């Protein structure tokens, strides 16, 4: 069965600093990988996804993620964080079960941005 680990429960960065959120996955085949963001009181918004091809994926709001098969990782990065980026971030792996792709989520990383 697939699994996702987000090792950092909580990260604090200063506004303008760079950001990297870690995600490690376990899945026996080529994974479909996602990053979602959840702002307070909001649903989950898709930031970016990786299905195949270029291992560096660009997303919305200036985020990018790099798929590294050798490390089973899909880390999320942003070169300069804005106060509005404060939220909870979830990494997910999509694995096929029959004809359905089921998402397995990590436990999330809460991001705090200091002024």
Interface with other proteins by CB under 8 A: which residues? 4, 9, 34, 36, 42-46, 49, 90, 92, 94, 96, 99-103, 105-108
Q: At closest approach, how far in Å is the CB of 108 from other proteins? A: 6
> What is the SS3 assignment for 71?
helix
Q: At closest approach, how far in Å is the CB of 38 from other proteins? A: 8
Q: At closest approach, how far in Å is the CB of 16 from other proteins? A: 29
Task: Return the number of the residue (36 or 63) whose C-beta is nearest other proteins.
Answer: 36
Task: Return the number of the residue (9 or 28) whose C-beta is nearest other proteins.
Answer: 9
Task: Return the number of the residue (15 or 22) whose C-beta is nearest other proteins.
Answer: 22
All residues at 6 or more sequence positions from 10 whose CB lies less than 8 Å from its CB, including other chains: 109, 110, 111, 112
Query: CA-to-CA distance for 24 and 12, rounded, in angstroms?
Result: 20
Task: Return the number of the residue (35 or 81) whose C-beta is nearest other proteins.
Answer: 35
- Count the helix, strand and coil residues of the chain and give each as a percent rounded to the nearest 5: 10, 55, 35
From the list 2, 9, 18, the residue with the least C-alpha distance to 72 is: 2
């Amino acid at each position: 069965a697939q699994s996702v680990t987000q090792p950092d429960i909580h990260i604090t960065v200063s506004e303008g600093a760079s950001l990297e959120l870690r995600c490690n996955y376990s899945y026996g085949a080529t994974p479909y990988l996602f990053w979602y963001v959840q702002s307070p009181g909001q649903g989950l918004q898709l930031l970016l996804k990786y299905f195949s091809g270029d291992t560096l994926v660009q997303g919305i709001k200036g985020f990018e993620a790099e798929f590294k098969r050798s490390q089973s990782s899909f880390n999320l990065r942003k070169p300069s964080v804005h106060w509005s980026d404060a939220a909870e971030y979830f990494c997910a792996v999509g694995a096929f079960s029959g004809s359905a792709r089921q998402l397995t989520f990590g436990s999330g990383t809460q991001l705090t941005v200091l002024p």
